[in-house]
Structure 1
Amino acid sequence: MNPRPNSLRALATASLLCLALSGCLGDDPAKMLADAQAAFDKRDFNTATIQVKNLLQENAGNAEARFLFGRILLEQGDSAAAVGELRKALEAGYRRERAVPLLIRAMVESGEGKKAVEEFAGFQASDPTEQAAFLTVLGRAHMTLGDRAKAGERFEQALKLKPDQADALLGTAVLQGMDRNADSALAIVDKVLAADASNSDALLLKGDLLSYKAQRDEAEAAFRAAVKARPDSVRAHQRLVGYLISLNKLDEAAAALAETKKVAPRSLQTIYLDALLALQRKQYPQARDLAAQVLKVAPDHAPSIIVSATAQIRLGQQLQAQTQLEKLLSSNPNSSVARRLLAESLLAVPDPARALDVLKPLLAGEINDPGLLALAGQAYLLTGDSARSTEYFSKLAAQRPDNAEVRTRLAMARMAGGDDARAMQDLEAAVKMDDTRLDAEIALISAHLRKQDTQQALAVVSELEKKQPENALVQNIKGSVMLATKNIPAGRAAFEKALSLQPGNIGAARELARLDLADGKPEVARKRFEDILAKEPKNVRAYLLLAVLLGDTGGTPEQIKATLEKAIAAEPTQIEARLVLVQTLLRLGDNKRALEVAQEAQAAAPDNPEVQRLLARTQLAVGERQQAISSFSKLVAAQPGNPQAHVDLADAQLANKELGAAEQSLRKALELKPDLRDAQQRLVGLLAGNQRSEEAVKVAQQMQKQRPDEPLGYALEADIHVLGKQWPAAVNALQQAYKRARSPQIVIALHNAQLQLGKKAEAEAVVTEWYKSAPRDTTVRASLAERAMREDRYADAVGQYREMLKLVSEQQRPYVLNNLAYAAQKQGDANAVEYAEQALKLAPKSADIMETLGTILVERGQTARGVELLKQAAGAAPKKPEIQLGYARGLAKAGDKSAAKKAATEASELAPKDSALKREIDAFTQTL
């Protein structure tokens, strides 16, 4: 046997393996770079990537390798990573004339066009070809910023240096297209294609121009030709996907997107298109989450912000959507899409005044855009300007005369303006236009009910039921009309049918639960929601309504908490259930658990500003003021352009008595939005409370100038004068407020100010006039009754409460009876016990009513029953010091001074320090 040949063969094999693994015998860097370049030229990006990465492992500072890696990433659509690599190439000394144009292109594609212009505006290349390339990409950057004049100037400069520069020619064609000169633009594109028929960028632009000319089939063919010409072109694939989505060819778009993912699975643009497709398919959570992936890498990518905000608007996450859109508008104020979306979100809140502010730049001149007309009409309708609302909806109706939805909105505007006759005609026309929609019928029914024309309302319901007898929503509408006409059995039957047609119908279940409660059957009401949850265990809305129902019908705190915990488990990212649970826990005094829930919410959704706000507000509520300031500060850092975030921070600073910092936060909010009511109101309060009344008045008067037709600025000025006991000035300001809005609060304040001036007749005249204009209002009566009680005018208080009994709802009746009983007892009225007994019968679990009846009985010598009721009241409200004091007084009257002293001591510990109630409790304790 001869071992030598085998040994040689083994050595050769080992050497080949070493060479293949690149490095064990020290590969030539130049050769590795040349191999990578060759692979790149063949558009074999995977091989090129492997070669470049191996080379960079050996020498991380190789400028040529860094530059080539940047080009590879850019071709694969990973523009954000390409920016990083190209910058590293420049740092390593790569020639700027070649690297800068590519870096600008990468920055533009990753949403950093503004930064690119600012950084490289003064760049100059010595070679004319390279300078032309630089000027072309800089022109593209200017175009992304909406600066068409500057873009055109750059393209013109590039073409002077190199008249056949294809990219500059295409840039000029784009500008022609933006000026609506599609034919001129197409001529330029055809010139480029004549020189290079496979120019993918030219084919893509041709597709865009043909699309603008509504030649859809030809446009789609151009996009597909671009993909065919460059099968490895990420941009070509992505543009085809985008166009198919715009045509609503969603299945074809999904197939094209699958091909795109093979070419560039990690490309931000690919992920964005995936998000856009999900949005079009109404897969809103998926669209939001995919857009978030893009924004994590490229936070300023405007298209992804638009997709994310749209998804959040549809999901009801308005604050997050508004934050993103306001940030986008701060850097791109000309984005009409962002303005319209922000206005839509603000109308959903609703904040129509801010929505109008956002829309105003778009409302100058003649408007032909139907969507914009609809938004403007809705915004003016919600601000109470029915004339302007009618104007916009009329224009929209003229554009779309056969559109039922438009005609319905026009009717709403006319009805708000008092033009009921034409509004009814519009609604009736809308019903005839489209018998598949229900909004026109609902509006027509509401209009008839508003006019108390129940027969006409029933007639519309009857026609609607004939057309859609098995529609659960129709049955809901029928049920509501029957209840409005006091036909309770028919209403119940309609809601029962709705629930049988759609077992998860929350609206029907809610109405039936209300009827069950009215019948004294709380267990039946609860079962409505329990049945829904048995079939739909993830129905968060059902859990929330069940939790509310448990609270209203004597459910234990443990039951309420358990129900809300199930809602959170059903949808962990849903904020509403966590918010209600936190509020419930705070109300029950379980501060520790409330804070835990808020912290868990933040852990589940760390980037959600609503959750961050929930945590901060919970920290503030439980007394952790410094932590709340820290949390709100993080929110401000994340949303520096959000004025409400600064107001929230100010709330925490005010609670912590950091008045200077709070003032700074409020003034910052007003810098961002000079007419922000929340900030103005808090600033007025801060200044007035700090004896800076002149400054406070200036803020209030600024509000009057900003909103001359609104009462708030005058009411705030009046508050400042009341604080300084400047009664003539207070009366003048309140009279101005009263002219603009006759609200019960303004009536109460003006009545009080007139009395302080000794003008009793004028004060009574204000109240008399109010009763004539609002005969069913109880707010003013309640205030006057309380004032009478404070002034020991019990006969007057009794008179007011008796009048209120004629006006209040069944739910309010027991509490009015309770106050009437108290006033009657003070007056020595023999009916006091009867009033309190009636109140307790209507609200048998109310601690306040038990305390009132118990106290009256003890005072009237029925000590045993009275003390027992007071004991029950104390047990039902163990943390209410005033009720514990009532129990202590009852025990003292019964002769049990030891127990009375113990109850009084507990009441004293519960009462706020330095409060009048604590002083009253301590004075009583001294008598024992």
Structure 2
Amino acid sequence: MPPRSMNRFPPLLLALLLAGAIPTAGAAQPEQASRFYEDAQGRFEKNDVAGAIIQLKNALQQDPKLLPAYVLLGKAHLRKGEPGPAEVALTQAVQLGVAPGVVLVPLAQSWLAQGKFRELLDKASADKALPAQRVELLLLRASAHAELGDAGAAAQTLEGARRLDPRSAPIAVAQSALALRAGNLQAAARSADEAVHLAPSDPQAWYARGAAAHVGGDSRAALEAYSKAIGLAADHLDARLARAGLLLDLRREAEAAQDLSALRKSHPLEPRSNYLNAVLAARQGNAAESRARLVETAKFIDPIPPEVLGRKPQLLLLGGLAHHGLKEPEKAKAQLDAYLKLNPRHAGARKLLASILLAEGDTAAVLTVLERAEKLAPNDPQILSLLASAYTARGNHHRATAYLERASQASGGSPALETSLGFSLMSAGRTDAALEQLERVYRKDPGQARAGYALAVLYMKQGQPAKAAQLAGQMAKREPKNPAVQNLLAVARAAAGDRKGARAAYEATLALDRDFLPARLNLGKLDLAEGRPQAAAERFQSILKERPKDTQAMFELAAIEQAGGAPLRAIDWLEKIHAIDRKDLRAGARLVELELRRGKTDRALALARELDGLMPDDLAALALLGRASLAAGQRKAALAAFDRMTVLAQYDAAAQTGIAELQMMAGNLQGAAYSLEKALSARAEFVPALALKAELELRKGETAKAGELARAIVARHPRDAVGHRLAGEAAMAKRAYTEAAASFRAALALQPDTRIAMRLFEASLAAGERAKAVGFMEGWARSHPRDPAALRALAEAYLRTGNAKAARATYEQALELGEDANLLNNLAYVMLRLEDPGATAIAERAYRLDPNDAGIGDTLGWALFRQGRAEDALKYLREARLRAPANPEIAYHLAAALERAGRRDEARREIEDALAGKPDFDELADARRLAQTLRREPLSGNLTPERSRYPGDLSTH
């Protein structure tokens, strides 16, 4: 496949347990197995679930392939409240041949019970269900959407179910629960009443009515409805728990004790029941029993249901304070929560609970706790500062900034809060305002080190490293014994290109503190920048000898291995980091990227999902999930992830712009337009959003609009390269090549970038200035001799102008800087053009690095074909065709290999696909000749085609 141009801008344990319970017999005994199964079916119908499971395992011991036994075993585990083993059994049923639709509903139930909401939504679509089960499956999907916080999708799914069955009580129950979750008490009560009307003997309908009344504060109605549900189904767990909790709230302990006694018999391990028993025992003065029950509860449940929290006013507050001091946050949270139920107006308790939740990253809960605290004490700087921290953690920097401004004013201009305000402005993308704020703080009090650090970093980000170095130098004079300041000075000097001065500052840092890790790490990075990877690796390894779990050193070693063409060793390092810190997003992201490159899309997607599960509201984790889903062919899931990001980012201009770029990558131009609209409504002059909007207009074919946007950017920001570059792109789109070249030249003068240089080359070439274009690229590569992108661009320039030998030499020069799959692929392609049989070995190296790339697989397949190895080629060409079904050149290559292998009927189909529409690829003429030959040959012919039909055959005979 032709070389690619550079991008423009851009339940194992459960399975073992189950297997252990079902040992493979020496020979199947179907009659005995059938008898066990029939007995199990009878027991299941009589609700003897434990007995049914034993008999089903006996049946499978006799006949391990008894499909009905696996299905019933899954359902039995579900009824027993064991969703994990249920999933294992049902999955085994499908693997052995049960039609997936048969077990889709119980499988979905198992996923829902285990909290595998995304797996349910990804794998259990309504169109896969048997017709009679679609409503039930839609209800399960709605529950998954609701658990993930997507109330809109849940409501839409329930409406779809209602269209299939307008008189379904379970749908009304689900709609009531959804409305209750959203705080719409009237809608919840209305749907619950409808459910009772449709199915007056359904205990779940009565439970829904009780829940709506309970939340609405109508205790009498709630108790009546819960009692009705229990009367219809004495083992209705939720109704009995809710009634017991409500009775405790009403101080009717004797009646609550009756429910709790029943629960101990029916659900002895139910954590909510255990906790209620602890509350009851505490009220009865039985401290030992209460503690035992609390310990038992902790084994099974993390969050304590709000409606059943105990009430011990001052003791709870003191306990919360004590546990907070003892660093026992879970106990502190439970007690503070209980206290705040009794004393919701206690602002101090709210601040303490919020600080615990914030340390745990539970920003949604922080906001819930502080919402009332702000009303109680609107000018409390601590409350306002906590709110700002929560919004910062959620990526909503605009609201964070507003709260910090209020906190600073309320505190009388606290330097610490003033500095935090500068940080928030910086995070919100308001760089100029952040710079002004931090400079004001630093001038007012040069002892504000945080402000100084932030200013230096901001200067470096703005391309002013010399200014950063000057500031860091002043700080170093003020604090000569502070290693952190010396390290900052070194970083600034390195950014300014003063590597000698940077090394001296790093060494000065280590003279003050030889164990100062940032300086040791940065010295390693400096070694790398100076082209000494071995020295860098030795430095990082020495860190690991002293600190075996230092993930930063591991990450740098992974980067060295990756740059050296050893992706598997890089993955080993990243896996070690992941095992130590599963929330390390940087390592997780790099690991996902590498797994995608080597074709392990399932592993990559599992990692991305894990990170999202650990950090569900983290924009970076969601972006990673979306990209991994897209690579795995799950575009719908990717779009959903990007949509979640749009909601979470609110009106953060920088975040919304990044989301729009991801949406464009996924082909969701409408979603990208919406995200950009939100970005620009927050900051109308935000250049990155304006630039991406111009890119979007170009994608939509709206050249005039794109050009207008580009000119507006140039007019307002003439020293910013992006406007000039976009003007060049708009001119290219309308074939005004000379105009485009002028714009790209202006952009390049402001921002020396190989991608812009390549576009200038392309514009000059299109304008007919071939020699000038090639000369320019040669000069660019000479001035960037260690830039693989520059060498790749020059090689592409040679290739486009027909100089394949020079292209080959340039690709080989680029590969001396580090092995790269795309560079190897491009080299193999050029060698094919030069009819060099060594192309196959180069293509194989590229494929080993990235087997998931269709173009690389195509190049390897075509190289094998050109060597006369058509049968070997088919594996790679078929795979490439499946990965890139819209690529006509790959279709032609597959057709040619099929024809040579004597499979002419299939070859005809492939060549017709290759020539459908208006294809444009290098070997189009050869493809048309092959099509003519195949049309002349009889169907299913077995004559071996002549080798001379294919140009440049590399086979040797």
Q: Per the shorter chain, which TM-score range?
A: 0.5 to 0.7
SS at match of 2:720: coil
- Which residue does 1:736 correspond to in 2? 746
* Deviation (angstroms), 1:874: 1.4
- Which residue does 1:405 correspond to in 2? 484
Q: Do the aligned partners of residues 530 and 706 (structure 1) sit closer, same or farther apart at CA in structure 2, a change above 3 Å counting?
A: closer
Cα deviation digits, residues 423-480 of structure 1 (max 9, x gap) = 555444433344453334444565566567x7xxxxxxxxxxxxxxxxxxxxxxxxx7
* Whole-angstrom CA distance in 2 between matches of 1:515 and 1:427: 24
- Which residue does 2:714 correspond to in 1? 704
* Deviation (angstroms), 1:900: 0.9
Q: Which amino acid is the alignment partner of residue 735 of structure 1? A: R
* Whole-angstrom CA distance in 2 between matches of 1:724 and 1:519: 41
- Which residue does 1:416 correspond to in 2? 495
* Deviation (angstroms), 1:700: 2.9
Contact 1:504–1:536 under 8 Å retained in 2: no
* Whole-angstrom CA distance in 2 between matches of 1:810 and 1:420: 21
Among 344, 357, 367, which residue is 1:266 paired with? 344
Contact 2:540–2:556 under 8 Å retained in 1: no
- Which residue does 1:585 correspond to in 2? 629
Q: Which amino acid is the alignment partner of residue 726 of structure 1? A: A
* Whole-angstrom CA distance in 2 between matches of 1:449 and 1:878: 40
Q: TM-score, normalised by structure 2?
A: 0.51
Q: Do the aligned partners of residues 493 and 645 (structure 1) sit closer, same or farther apart at CA in structure 2, a change above 3 Å counting?
A: closer
* Deviation (angstroms), 1:287: 7.3
* Deviation (angstroms), 1:380: 0.4
Asked if residue 508 in structure 1 is aligned to residue 554 in structure 2, the reply is yes
* Deviation (angstroms), 1:274: 0.5
- Which residue does 1:289 correspond to in 2? 365
Among 350, 353, 357, which residue is 2:433 paired with? 357
Contact 1:853–1:866 under 8 Å retained in 2: no
Q: Do the aligned partners of residues 689 and 332 (structure 1) sit closer, same or farther apart at CA in structure 2, a change above 3 Å counting?
A: farther
Q: Which amino acid is the alignment partner of residue 423 of structure 2? A: E
- Which residue does 1:482 correspond to in 2? 535
Asked if residue 683 in structure 1 is aligned to residue 708 in structure 2, the reply is no
Q: Which amino acid is the alignment partner of residue 459 of structure 2? A: Y
Alignment of 1:167-206 (within 5 A): none
- Which residue does 1:438 correspond to in 2? 517
Q: Which amino acid is the alignment partner of residue 351 of structure 2? A: L
Structure 2 unaligned residues grouped into runs of 5+: 1-312, 935-957
- Which residue does 2:904 correspond to in 1? 897
* Whole-angstrom CA distance in 2 between matches of 1:428 and 1:285: 37
SS at match of 2:815: coil
Q: Do the aligned partners of residues 433 and 376 (structure 1) sit closer, same or farther apart at CA in structure 2, a change above 3 Å counting?
A: same
SS at match of 1:807: helix
* Deviation (angstroms), 1:679: 1.9
- Which residue does 1:878 correspond to in 2? 882
Farther off after superposition, 335-344 or 773-782: 335-344
Asked if residue 770 in structure 1 is aligned to residue 795 in structure 2, the reply is no
Q: Which amino acid is the alignment partner of residue 469 of structure 2? A: T
Contact 1:646–1:665 under 8 Å retained in 2: yes
* Deviation (angstroms), 1:530: 7.0
Among 733, 741, 759, which residue is 1:723 paired with? 733
* Whole-angstrom CA distance in 2 between matches of 1:849 and 1:652: 26
- Which residue does 2:164 correspond to in 1? none
- Which residue does 1:65 correspond to in 2? none
* Whole-angstrom CA distance in 1 between matches of 2:503 and 2:910: 64
Alignment of 1:339-354 (within 5 A): 340-341=419-420, 343-344=422-423, 354=430
Q: Do the aligned partners of residues 901 and 293 (structure 1) sit closer, same or farther apart at CA in structure 2, a change above 3 Å counting?
A: farther
Q: TM-score, normalised by structure 1?
A: 0.53
Asked if residue 713 in structure 1 is aligned to residue 723 in structure 2, the reply is yes
Alignment root-mean-square deviation, CA: 5.6
Larger RCO (CA under 8 A, 6+ residues apart): 2
Asked if residue 324 in structure 1 is aligned to residue 394 in structure 2, the reply is no
- Which residue does 1:367 correspond to in 2? 444
Alignment of 1:693-842 (within 5 A): 696-697=706-707, 699-704=709-714, 706-786=716-796, 789=799, 793=802, 796-808=803-815, 812-813=819-820, 815-827=822-834, 829=835, 832-841=836-845
Asked if residue 306 in structure 1 is aligned to residue 385 in structure 2, the reply is yes
SS at match of 2:882: coil
* Deviation (angstroms), 1:266: 1.9
Among 661, 672, 676, which residue is 2:682 paired with? 672
Farther off after superposition, 733-742 or 371-380: 733-742
- Which residue does 2:266 correspond to in 1? none
Q: Which amino acid is the alignment partner of residue 832 of structure 2? A: Q
* Whole-angstrom CA distance in 1 between matches of 2:673 and 2:545: 57
* Whole-angstrom CA distance in 1 between matches of 2:629 and 2:535: 38
Contact 2:373–2:383 under 8 Å retained in 1: no
Farther off after superposition, 867-876 or 540-549: 540-549
Contact 1:272–1:294 under 8 Å retained in 2: yes
- Percent identity for Structure 1 against Structure 2: 20
* Whole-angstrom CA distance in 2 between matches of 1:688 and 1:544: 30
* Whole-angstrom CA distance in 2 between matches of 1:278 and 1:753: 58
Alignment of 1:129-140 (within 5 A): none
Among 453, 456, 459, which residue is 1:380 paired with? 459
Contact 1:643–1:673 under 8 Å retained in 2: no
* Deviation (angstroms), 1:507: 4.4
Q: Do the aligned partners of residues 715 and 812 (structure 1) sit closer, same or farther apart at CA in structure 2, a change above 3 Å counting?
A: same
Contact 1:643–1:672 under 8 Å retained in 2: no
Size of the alignment, in residue pairs?
601
Contact 2:912–2:931 under 8 Å retained in 1: yes
Cα deviation digits, residues 811-855 of structure 1 (max 9, x gap) = 64554344334334334x3xx211222331563474645533443
Contact 2:777–2:797 under 8 Å retained in 1: no
Contact 1:305–1:325 under 8 Å retained in 2: no
Q: Which amino acid is the alignment partner of residue 588 of structure 1? A: A
Contact 1:718–1:731 under 8 Å retained in 2: yes
Contact 1:310–1:321 under 8 Å retained in 2: no
Q: Which amino acid is the alignment partner of residue 731 of structure 2? A: H
* Whole-angstrom CA distance in 2 between matches of 1:875 and 1:260: 57
* Whole-angstrom CA distance in 2 between matches of 1:525 and 1:749: 33
Contact 2:336–2:349 under 8 Å retained in 1: no
